């Protein structure tokens, strides 16, 4: 399978759909919509929506049904980046090769654009659920997965502990808590929401969740490795910021080579869980490999 080609075609498909869900740039609050669109358009891998869509089709569902949820999870991911880049948090000037949101629109609008994207994500999911009364309970369950993943026992918890851990030595348990919540939670949420929309049974959902946990942690470890040895121009962001901020990471705790090994093992395990789906799981298997093989 030409994985990269397939990945890009899914990405293009998603980005075309996403356009329909971005508010029109008009009205008194025009600058808000410009700011939201600026960060949504900034690209990125679109990993979470692609996982969500793939999970729906993996269990035999119709991808069209899950599009609003895929857009919603990308909006939530995007809002978290906007707020994460703020001076009061990571204080980053560059994201995906472009100036960060607050550098362009100012801090006040950046805060509100983040708030707007989070709220709008729910609006989109709710609207879609209202359209199909008979399916609405299923959509509500999918929405629940995304809300939990993004929330105070998920992504936000990870961000808080990450922020509190700057310039501190932290142990592996704390680091795992950060990774589990800051990164894995939304990957798990994406895959579980997609599977629920596709009509997964309990066993399928368990396998998908196990796959998600493993690629989630693997993804974060590789991100931390790339922050040390990655190529700034390929990554589109400053490297070395973890070191600068004295952040504890897998590479700083275990060294780069050992961290690479841990990531590879996680990916092997992830692929095991997806093997239950036969050929249909090929894309997700390749995606797992891609996560550790990105640019190093």
Sign of CA dihedral 101, 103, 105, 109: positive
Using the rule CB under 8 A, give the single segment among 13-21, 116-124, 195-203, 204-212 that binds a second copy: 116-124
Phi, psi of 98 (to 5 degrees): -125, 160
Residue-wise DSSP of 200-269: --HHHHHHHHHHHHHHHHHHHHHHHHHHHH--HHHHTS-SSHHHHTT---HHHHH-HHHHHHHHHHHHHH
Compute the least distance from the CB of residue 265 to a second copy, in Å: 25
Closest CB to a second copy among residues 90, 224: 90
**Can you read off the two tokens belonging to residue 15?**
């980005």
Query: Binding to a second copy by residue 31, rule CB under 8 A?
Result: yes
**Can you read off the two tokens belonging to residue 48?**
């979470």
* Contacts to a second copy from residues 205-234, by CB under 8 A: none
Q: Are the C-beta atoms of residues 221 and 172 closer than 8 Å to each other?
A: no
Sign of CA dihedral 296, 288, 191, 165: negative
Using the rule CB under 8 A, give the single segment among 84-92, 212-220, 272-280, 287-295 that binds a second copy: 84-92
Query: Binding to a second copy by residue 25, rule CB under 8 A?
Result: no
Distances (CA, A) of 225 to 9, 40, 222: 27, 26, 5
x-or-dash pattern for a second copy, window 160-199, by CB under 8 A? xx-xx---------x--x---x------------------
Compute the least distance from the CB of residue 121 to a second copy, in Å: 9
Q: Are the C-beta atoms of residues 155 and 182 closer than 8 Å to each other?
A: yes
The residue from 144, 209, 241, 276 that contacts a second copy (CB under 8 A) is 144
- Bridge partner residues of 94 (DSSP): 99
Query: Binding to a second copy by residue 152, rule CB under 8 A?
Result: yes
The residue from 147, 205, 239, 256 that contacts a second copy (CB under 8 A) is 147
The residue from 37, 98, 104, 111 that contacts a second copy (CB under 8 A) is 111
Rounded Cα distance between 96 and 196, Å, is 31
Query: Binding to a second copy by residue 119, rule CB under 8 A?
Result: yes
Query: Binding to a second copy by residue 148, rule CB under 8 A?
Result: yes
Closest CB to a second copy among residues 8, 127: 127
Using the rule CB under 8 A, give the single segment among 41-49, 122-130, 193-201, 230-238 that binds a second copy: 122-130
Query: Binding to a second copy by residue 37, rule CB under 8 A?
Result: no
Q: Are the C-beta atoms of residues 77 and 219 closer than 8 Å to each other?
A: no
Compute the least distance from the CB of residue 4 to a second copy, in Å: 34
Q: Are the C-beta atoms of residues 161 and 181 closer than 8 Å to each other?
A: yes
- Tell me, what DSSP letter sits at residue 184? I
Residues that bind a second copy (CB under 8 A): 23, 27-29, 31-33, 36, 79, 83, 86-89, 106-112, 114-116, 118-120, 122-123, 126-127, 129-130, 133, 136-137, 140-141, 143-144, 147-148, 150-153, 156-157, 159-161, 163-164, 174, 177, 181
């Amino acid at each position: 399978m030409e994985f990269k080609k397939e990945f890009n075609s899914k990405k293009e498909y998603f980005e075309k759909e996403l356009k329909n869900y971005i508010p029109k740039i008009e009205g008194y609050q025009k600058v808000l919509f410009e700011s939201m669109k600026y960060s949504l358009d900034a690209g990125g891998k679109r990993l979470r929506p692609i996982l969500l869509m793939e999970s729906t089709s993996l269990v035999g569902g119709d991808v069209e049904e899950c599009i609003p949820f895929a857009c919603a999870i990308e909006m939530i991911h995007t809002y978290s980046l906007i707020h994460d880049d703020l001076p009061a948090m990571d204080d980053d000037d560059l994201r995906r090769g472009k100036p960060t949101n607050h550098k362009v629109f100012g801090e006040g609008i950046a805060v509100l654009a983040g708030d707007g994207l989070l709220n709008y994500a729910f609006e989109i999911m709710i609207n879609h659920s209202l359209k199909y009364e008979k399916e609405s309970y299923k959509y509500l369950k999918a929405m629940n997965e995304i809300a939990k993943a993004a929330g105070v026992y998920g992504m936000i918890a990870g961000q808080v502990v990450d922020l509190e851990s700057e310039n501190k030595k932290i142990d592996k348990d704390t680091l795992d808590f950060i990774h589990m919540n800051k990164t894995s939670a939304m990957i798990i949420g994406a895959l579980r929401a997609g599977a629920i929309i596709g009509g997964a049974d309990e066993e399928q959902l368990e396998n998908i969740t196990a796959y998600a946990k493993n690629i989630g942690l693997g993804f974060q470890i590789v991100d931390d490795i790339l922050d040390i040895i990655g190529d700034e121009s390929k990554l589109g962001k400053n490297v070395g910021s973890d070191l600068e901020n004295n952040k504890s990471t897998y590479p700083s705790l275990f060294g780069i080579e050992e961290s690479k090994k841990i990531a590879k093992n996680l990916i092997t395990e992830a692929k095991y869980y997806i093997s239950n789906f036969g050929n249909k799981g090929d894309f997700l298997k390749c995606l797992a490999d891609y996560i550790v093989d990105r640019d190093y």
